[in-house]
Amino acid sequence: MTFLLESIFNGMSIGAVLLLAALGLAIVFGIMGVINLAHGELMMLGAYTTFVVQNAFRALGDSWFDWYLLVAVPLAFALAAGVGVMLERSVIRYLYGRPLETLLATWGVSLILQQLVRSISWQMTLQIALFCLLFFGGMWLLKGRTIAQRWHAWVTPVLLVLSLGIGITTGLAVGRAAGLAVTKPWFGAQGVDVTAPSWLRAGVNLLGVQFPFVRLFIIALTAVCLVAIYLFLLRSQWGLRIRAVTQNRSMSACLGIPTQTVDALTFALGSGLAGIAGCAISLLGSVSPNTGQNYIVDAFMVVVVGGVGKIVGSIVAALGIGFVNYVIGSGLFTRFLAPGTGLYDFFEFFASTSMARVMVFILIITFLQIRPAGLFPQKGRTVDA
């Protein structure tokens, strides 16, 4: 009973982390058909948001520190959603229906975000803010003007070069005047640690099995996100519009649904869920610019195995992969086999975290040979959408 309870809880724990990481991807990839390789970096931004909020609450005093998660979770969602909207407006919008180009573009964005987190400082923040103010403000001022229409091919490149030059030069000048404090990176390439609140540092013991409160919190957070997604997609007007655009974009546009707004909202929702996932995984280990890369492959596996566009499939796939991963990696099978036998040696070889992932990959590849469309394949109109 103890082994069974321990296996179920640890499988659910791993599955909850995978599901939370894959929920946003299930919406963006499953519903919109966009291969977003920057999804892991959106999780990373959510994790760093948690780190910054933690430090801010620590500065306020110990009495405030235990409540920083109540602020970190919505802020991580808002920041990741905002970055997702900017990504959709500036890059993804022009690449719908071209998955390979989307894959390459979002891969480039992921590299940019990683390097941005490594190098971001007050100086760079000033440079970026000045560039955005000059370039986008200039484009807004010139919108509809005769000179912009007549010299359209030259206005944008010239404004871009001038904005870059002024922003970079001003930032360098401020950096030289202010010294190291302005140019020093905020985070750097090294990992940073997020300390769990005191009410998450303990656990409860049941039938000889320890249930850490951190893991229980992540499971509860995943359940809340699932309920919120269900209510939004199936019980709200915008959820109805999202489902309508997914099934028939042209007819939805003819009926007056703002398809571009729906695209931005859907991408914001998926990106915001990635930020919440980053907030959760920051409680499990150190946060670094490469944090998202540790989860992106597993998140895609969950979406593909569950069935593209199927939230229920993602739930089943995440829990199944988490359970199998724990059972194989913990060497649970070896407890019921006689040492020296072929099966014992086989499961003993895969009884580690890294080798268990290899076995899970093999099982997933085998499964997809039998059911290429996943556990819950699309049916009806959604196949052609």
Taking only the tens place, the pLDDT of each residue in 152-184 is 667 778 888 888 888 888 888 877 777 666 777
Residue 78 has a pLDDT of 93
Q: Each residue of 43-97: pLDDT tens digit?
A: 999 999 999 999 898 888 777 888 888 999 999 999 999 998 988 888 888 887 7
Instruction: Answer yes or no: is pLDDT of 245 > 70.
Output: yes
Residue 380 has a pLDDT of 45
Beta-bridged to residue 212, according to DSSP, are 203
Q: How confident is the model at residue 146 (pLDDT cuts 50, 70, 90)?
A: low
Q: Each residue of 181-204: pLDDT tens digit?
A: 677 778 877 888 888 888 888 777
**Which burial class, exposed, middle or buried, applies to 87 when counting CB atoms under 10 A from its CB (0-12, 13-18, 19+)?**
buried
Q: How confident is the model at residue 333 (pLDDT cuts 50, 70, 90)?
A: low
Instruction: Answer yes or no: is pLDDT of 227 > 80.
Output: yes
Backbone angles phi, psi at 287, to 5 degrees: -110, 130
Query: Domain 2-117+207-377 is of which CATH architecture?
Result: Orthogonal Bundle (1.10)
Residue 151 has a pLDDT of 62
Please, where in the chain does CATH 1.10.3470 lie? 2-117+207-377
Proportion of the chain in helix, strand, coil states, percent, rounded to 5:
75, 5, 20
Residue 49 has a pLDDT of 92
Q: Each residue of 111-134: pLDDT tens digit?
A: 988 888 888 888 888 888 888 888
Q: What is the radius of gyration, based on Cα positions, of the chain?
A: 24
Residue 361 has a pLDDT of 85
Of 73, 84, 21, nearest to 300 by C-alpha is 21
Residue 3 has a pLDDT of 66
Q: How confident is the model at residue 266 (pLDDT cuts 50, 70, 90)?
A: confident
pTM of the model: 0.84
- The H-or-E segment that residue 203 falls in is strand 203-206
Q: Are the C-beta atoms of 42 and 292 separated by less than 8 Å?
A: yes
Residue 337 has a pLDDT of 66
Instruction: Answer yes or no: is pLDDT of 383 > 70.
Output: no
DSSP letter string over 150-164? HTHHHHHHHHHHHHH
Residue 238 CA to residue 244 CA, distance in Å, equals 10
Mean pLDDT of 21-30: 80
User: Max Cα separation, the chain?
Assistant: 84
Residue 79 has a pLDDT of 92
Q: How confident is the model at residue 150 (pLDDT cuts 50, 70, 90)?
A: low
Place of tokens 């975000």: 113
Residue 24 CA to residue 29 CA, distance in Å, equals 8
Q: Which of 145-159, 223-237, 350-364 has the lowest mean pLDDT?
A: 145-159
Residue 242 has a pLDDT of 84
Residue 210 DSSP SS3: strand
Q: Which of 58-67, 145-154, 228-237, 363-372 has the lowest mean pLDDT?
A: 145-154
Distances (CA, A) of 61 to 50, 51, 55, 308: 17, 16, 10, 46
Residue 218 CA to residue 16 CA, distance in Å, equals 7
